[in-house]
């Protein structure tokens, strides 16, 4: 299905937290079964070919990290590990060659993804200086003291800053993997992977109060995701329910019913909310009212004013 080769690398440090690595790795494995072209590699942080996880399970056939040079088509997951290592000066001192390598890969625009306390390893390498990030809530205070240049964000499942990604901990690595897959292959594909492993697609890179373009997406109904994508991508055009329904092989009546049941909102209300947010964004950027109306699929500036007035009570909650 997808021809472009993507390489996914998973660092396996000593005393690695199992779910931090096995969760994301399994999603990339599932992605291959759905037609992606992903090569998966497991790396050691030193020259060892086998390490023991924090749960006591051994993981072998690892390759040294410095055997590879990453590109912008590559992804590196850095999972969390036991705090006794992160707080051990000798451990950090002995990993300087890895931190240098990590900086070099970031400079090549590879996607660097920290799961849980894996953010510490990125921070030790200087990759989180002046960047938004997050980590496990238990380590917020320590992390802020150690890395005052990092812009640590709380109450966030995952954070994306340029090519650097971080997630809150343990199962959030799965959300991060889905987020990456969605960036590369689209919402419909990511929803299929989420459904395959029976988890919800939680698109929460933003604050808890999400942009309208991300709201109402916490479901795994592929057909509704496809309709939502069509509505978003063609917001400047009038879209007919008959055409939307035909695209997902449903009757208009069934689509209307399923959309409301899945998202909790009607198609018409969803489109209006999309238009309101887009309009506010364009107006804040200095666009002319007539231009904004056209971009939002409205016939006139009066229609735009009426729409904004109708939703004025909601505007405080729209970014």
What CATH number does residue 172 fall under?
Answer: 3.40.50.880
Q: What is the DSSP letter of 295?
A: H
Range of the domain at 118: 6-188
Question: Of 27-41, 57-71, 125-139, 170-184, which gets the smallest average pLDDT?
Answer: 170-184
For residues 1-22, average pLDDT:
91
- CA–CA separation, 169 and 115 (whole Å): 6
Q: What average pLDDT does range 277-298 have in this prediction? A: 90
Given a contact cutoff of 8 angstroms between Cβ atoms, the answer to whether 7 and 73 are in contact is yes
End-to-end CA distance of the chain: 36
Overall domain count for the chain: 2
CA neighbours closer than 13 Å in the CB half-sphere of residue 262 = 23
Q: Of 168, 188, 208, which marks where a domain is finished? A: 188
Q: Do 114 and 135 touch, CB atoms closer than 8 A?
A: yes
Q: Per the domain annotation, does 48 fall within a domain?
A: yes
Q: Looking at the structure, do residues 166 and 241 belong to the same domain, yes or no?
A: no
Contacts of 233 (CB under 8 A, 6+ apart): none
Q: Is the pLDDT of residue 312 over 90?
A: no
Residues 21 and 160 in one domain: yes
Identify whether residues 257 and 172 lie together within a single domain: no
Provide the H-helix boundaries in the chain.
Answer: 18-33, 83-86, 89-93, 96-107, 118-124, 140-146, 172-185, 187-196, 222-233, 241-247, 252-263, 267-284, 289-295, 301-310
Does residue 208 lie in a domain region? Answer: no
Residues 153 and 235 in one domain: no
pLDDT of residue 284: 84
In the sheet where 158-161 sits, what is the strand order?
63-64, 38-44, 6-11, 74-78, 111-115, 164-167, 158-161
Q: Is the pLDDT of residue 317 over 50?
A: no
Q: Are residues 161 and 23 in the same domain?
A: yes
Span of 104-108, 112-116, 230-234, 281-285 with lowest mean pLDDT: 281-285
Given a contact cutoff of 8 angstroms between Cβ atoms, the answer to whether 44 and 52 are in contact is: no
* 85/173 same-domain check: yes
pLDDT tens per residue across span 39-74: 999 999 988 999 999 999 999 999 999 999 999 999
Instruction: Give residue 309's pLDDT band: very low, low, confident or very high (50, 70, 90).
Output: confident
Split at pLDDT 50, 70, 90, the class of 290 is very high
Confidence category of residue 1, pLDDT binned at 50, 70, 90: low
Separation CA 296–CA 260 (nearest Å): 22
Closest-CA residue to 199 (of 232, 224, 176): 176
Do 171 and 236 sit in the same domain of this protein?
no
User: Cα–Cα distances in Å, from 179 out to 175, 201, 262, 299?
Assistant: 6, 8, 20, 36
Q: What residue has token string 């939002």?
A: 296
Average pLDDT, the chain: 89
If asked whether residues 17 and 71 sit together in one domain, one would say yes
Note the pLDDT of residue 187.
Answer: 75
pLDDT for position 266? 96
Query: Do both 234 and 118 map to the same domain?
Result: no
Is 197 a member of any domain? no
Which of these three, 131, 164, 188, is where a domain ends? 188
- Which tokens go with 60? 């072998």
What pLDDT is attached to residue 316? 41
The whole-number pLDDT of residue 44 equals: 96
Token pair 């919402």 is found at 187
Determine contact, residues 139/158, Cβ cutoff 8 Å.
no
- The pLDDT of residue 202 is above 70: no
Q: Tell whether 96 and 153 lie within a shared domain.
A: yes
- What tens digit of pLDDT does each residue of 205-246 get? 443 334 566 678 767 688 998 999 899 889 999 899 999 999
Give the pLDDT confidence score for residue 155 in this predicted structure. Answer: 67
Residue 319 is predicted with a pLDDT of: 35
The CATH number that applies at residue 253 is: 1.10.10.60
Percent pLDDT > 70 in the chain is 92
Please tell me the predicted confidence (pLDDT) of residue 208: 37
Higher-confidence position of 198 and 289:
289
Domain boundary among 188, 215, 231: 188
pLDDT score at 311: 77
Structure tokens at 226: 């496809």
């Amino acid at each position: 299905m997808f021809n472009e080769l993507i390489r996914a690398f998973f660092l396996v440090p000593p005393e690695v937290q199992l779910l931090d690595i096995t969760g994301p790795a399994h999603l990339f494995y599932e992605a291959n079964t759905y037609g992606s072209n992903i090569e998966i590699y497991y790396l050691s942080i030193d020259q060892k070919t086998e390490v023991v996880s924090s749960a006591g399970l051994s993981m072998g056939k690892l390759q040294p990290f410095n055997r590879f040079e990453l590109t912008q088509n590559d992804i590196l997951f850095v999972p969390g590990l036991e705090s006794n290592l992160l707080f051990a000066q000798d451990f950090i001192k002995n990993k300087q060659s890895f931190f240098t390598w990590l900086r070099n890969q970031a400079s090549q625009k590879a996607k660097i993804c920290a799961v849980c306390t894996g953010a510490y390893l990125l921070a030790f390498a200087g990759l989180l200086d002046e960047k938004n990030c997050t980590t496990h809530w238990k380590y917020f205070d320590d992390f802020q003291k150690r890395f005052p240049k990092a812009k640590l964000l709380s109450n966030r499942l995952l954070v994306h800053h340029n090519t650097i990604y971080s997630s809150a901990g343990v199962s959030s690595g799965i959300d991060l993997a889905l987020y990456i897959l969605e960036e590369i292959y689209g919402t419909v594909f990511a929803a299929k992977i989420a459904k395959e492993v029976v988890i919800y697609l939680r698109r929460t890179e933003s604050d808890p109060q999400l942009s309208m373009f991300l709201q109402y997406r916490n479901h795994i109904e592929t057909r509704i995701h496809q309709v939502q994508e069509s509505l978003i991508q063609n917001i400047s055009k009038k879209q007919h329910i008959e055409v939307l329904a035909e695209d997902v092989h449903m009757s208009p009546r069934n689509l209307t019913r399923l959309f409301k049941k899945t998202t909790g909102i009607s198609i018409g209300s969803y489109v209006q909310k999309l238009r309101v947010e887009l309009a506010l964004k364009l107006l804040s950027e200095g666009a002319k009212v007539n231009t904004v109306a056209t971009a939002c699929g409205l016939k006139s500036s009066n229609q735009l004013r009426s729409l904004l007035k109708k939703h004025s009570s909601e505007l405080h909650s729209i970014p």
